Amino acid sequence: MAGVDVCGLTKEYRLPDRTLAALQGFSASFDDGSFTVIVGRSGCGKTTLLRLLSGLEEKDGGEIRWKQTGRPAKVGIVFQEPRLLPWLTVGENMLFSQTSAAAANKAQLLEQYLQLLRLEPFRDAYPAQLSGGMAQRVSLGRTLCYEPDLILMDEPFGALDYFTRRHLQQELSELFLSQKKTVIFVTHDVSEAAYLGQRVLVLDAGRLVGEVPIHATYPRNPLSAELLSAQQQILDLLGGQTRRKMEVL
């Protein structure tokens, strides 16, 4: 596991006619074994932050400091689309990153996460034979089999129907309780943010505009007064930014 401090992080994308500031002086601390949700509108810098933390993008300024080791942690990513290899079975997809591990270790690892994610009956199935929710569970299993210190999740349930999404949210909260991984989860869904996170960071136009701590224990009731209050606080932060922009205009 790993914690990370992000200090004054900036990232710009240079287009032919203009420069787009994706992150502007973003700073936050992510503790070891914590579940943080990043929420905001499309284009606010959520995915850019994950790409910088994973090393898929180079930052233009600021620092990323890993708390435990002083060096980059082992990072796993779960994307919005499962991105499974269609010619591999569920089990083979999940073990894709474990090419150099001993056979006995791979078998033990696979059994652990097949059982945890309730995928044992689908071990030999192919991606084309799975539902969207099942495929996303396999994607999560592939990330867990990589044994990362930090798990980054980029709107992983965004393309799923309400019922599948709610079921996977429950499974993810149970997984967090049992594994105690450090998780940074990106979403634009305010109710999902309040249901999953121990705290919610609100981004707007590449800047951190507020933080909402959530102390409710897991498993959670999405209709509890505490979670409904947290949702309103998040909406107030987002709404406040919209009002300020309109006043400037």
- pLDDT tens for residues 25-61? 999 999 999 999 999 988 899 999 999 999 999 999 9
Contact 233, 212 (CB under 8 A): yes
- pLDDT tens for residues 149-191? 899 999 999 888 888 889 889 989 988 888 888 999 999 999 9
Specify the range with the lowest mean pLDDT, choosing from 107-111, 195-199, 205-209.
107-111
Q: Distance of alpha carbon 27 from its chain centroid, rounded?
A: 18
More confident residue, 114 or 71: 114
d(CA 240, CA 247): 11
Contact 157, 136 (CB under 8 A): yes
Domains of the chain: 1-74+151-156+181-249 (3.40.50.300)
Burial code (b: 16+ CB inside 10 Å, e: under 16) for 26-41 equals bebebbbebbbbbbbe
Dig out the tokens for 144 from the structure.
């867990």
pLDDT of residue 40: 92
